[in-house]
Amino acid sequence: MPSSGRKEIPVGASAENSRAIAALNDPWRRLPQITAMLIVLVIFPRFIACSGVRLPVSRSCFDDSVHIKNIYVQLTDIVKESHRMEVRVVRLGHVGLTVRDIDRTIDFYSTYLGMRLTEKFEYPEEKIGHGVAVAAGAFLRCDVTHHEMSIFRMRRNILAADAPDAPRFGFGLHHIAFELNTPEDLKGLFTKMRDGGVEIVNSRKGGPGNQPRFYARDPDGNLLEFYWGIDKIGWEGASRAYDPIEEIDLLNFDFEAFVDRRERDAAEARKGIRSGLNT
């Protein structure tokens, strides 16, 4: 007699095994597995092509619940593996700085950058807070996120009050960059900082990203960058050619000409990219 594909429930089988075999024999209970298999085969063919797994699909596989189960398990493993490969960070969260004077730093970043204080704390000598080294700290935000910047003052036995400021050159943090909404905002901040006695390092354009920008230092000597108009990366994943880095007079910089040049360069670059219907 040819096999019907049904699985017999052996005598003495446990209740759990009996239910499992009955589920395999019930076509309605097998429907979600079959549906999931078909969806994955149609919607996610790239997972199968990249996996190297040989799926045992044949004319009789739909009559054999074991084959269906094997296909479903292998496709599930492929999808899980693709999810593991695609894990990545969502965005850069916040920057943490060690500072000499908490209040001075709060005043600087709130006065010039409009950041707002979320909370501030100070630990008594006998209490351990953010590890054994931190004596006090504060969290600053730009929007509704709890903080984009955390600032800490170390305990005096860890970092003395007369310790040097952040090194101009050294391993570790190089600079922190802040984006402005418009060229007018960028120039306005430059003027405000300059007139407020903040150390302005220089203004530049060109280089990777090609954004017009200026650099300044905060009260602890950290290098800060302020920019507008950084390049975006398209679907092809390539950055466009850029001019060499050069210093500029930011207040007299021709932003309209800069944008016109960038759009012309982008249009020229797009000429080499084929679009339209594949034939």
- The answer to whether 166 and 220 have CB atoms below 8 angstroms apart is yes
The dihedral of CA 74, 75, 78, 80: what is its sign? negative
Q: Which residue has the higher pLDDT, 208 or 183?
A: 183
CB-based contacts of 262: which residues, under 8 Å, 6+ apart? Answer: 210, 229, 231
The dihedral through the CA atoms of 260, 266, 267, 269 has a sign that is positive
Residue 68 has a pLDDT of 64
Domains in the chain (CATH in brackets) are 16-83 (no CATH), 92-163 (3.10.180.10), 165-262 (3.30.720.110)
Residue 194 CA to residue 191 CA, distance in Å, equals 5
Helices and strands in the chain, H and E counts: 7, 9
Which residue in 189, 103, 181, 106 sits closest to 140, CA to CA?
A: 106
The pLDDT score that the predictor gives to residue 82 is: 60
Computed over every residue of the chain, the mean pLDDT equals 78
Give me the percent of the chain exceeding a pLDDT of 90. 37
Residue 51 has pLDDT above 90, yes or no: no
Higher pLDDT, 277 or 55: 277
pLDDT exceeds 70 at position 46: no
CB 187 within 8 A of CB 251: yes
User: Is residue 97's pLDDT more than 80?
Assistant: yes
Residues of the chain above pLDDT 70, percent: 65
pLDDT at position 2 over 50: no
Q: Which residue has the higher pLDDT, 127 or 115?
A: 115
